[in-house]
Structures are given as C-alpha cells and as structure tokens.
Amino acid sequence: MLDDYQPLYEAIVHKARELNMAGATVLRGPMGFGAHSRVHTAKLLSLSEDLPMVIEIVDEKEAIDRLLPYIDGMVEEGLVTLEKVQVIQYRSGGSSQP
C-alpha cells in the first residue's frame, strides 16, 4: 500500500484526500522524543526525516472511522490518537454563505 519512496505522511494525507475528508495538515516538530526516549532534534547533525511529525486530520466521526483501518495498516511505529473537537469555524475562502 505504501510506495517505497513515498514518506508516510504523504501516503496518509493522500489517502485522506482520496476518501474526501474535510482536511489534513502535517506539522514537523523541531524537537521531541517518543517510546524509545531517544531525543530527535533539528540541532543535531542528523537526517531531517528523523524529526517528530504530527498529522492532523479533521472530519466527522464516520469519515475518521473509514480512514482508521488504512492508518493501522500504514503506521508501524508511532502514536495515533483520536480526539473529539468542537469546530468553531470552517471556511474555504470562496463565496461566503450565511
């Protein structure tokens, strides 16, 4: 399912778009650590692809539920969370509607 040369975050965002989800954003962190307690930082002379990353996908529960099996099949290491949010505003920048 995952192309050998495609970063995981790209595969996840493309799958979310393919499933017509409301939106996705990828955030790369300058520093962090996870389950192995190894610090990943942009300050060290290391590959930039080793930096912490957050992929945030927003949609209704049913759409997220359709995406989760793909996420489960793609993510071999990392943390996946599911949070309920209250959307205050969602605008596309097109013509405004009342």
* pLDDT values of the chain reduced to their tens digit, one per residue, 98 residues: 566 788 999 999 999 999 999 999 999 888 888 888 888 777 755 555 667 889 999 999 999 999 999 999 999 988 999 999 998 988 887 755 55
pLDDT at position 97, please?
52
Distance CA 21, CA 31 (A): 29
Distance CA 6, CA 98 (A): 41
pLDDT at position 96, please?
53
Residue type (1 letter), 38: R
* Burial class of residue 74 in the structure, from the number of CB atoms within 10 Å of its CB (0-12 exposed, 13-18 middle, 19+ buried): middle
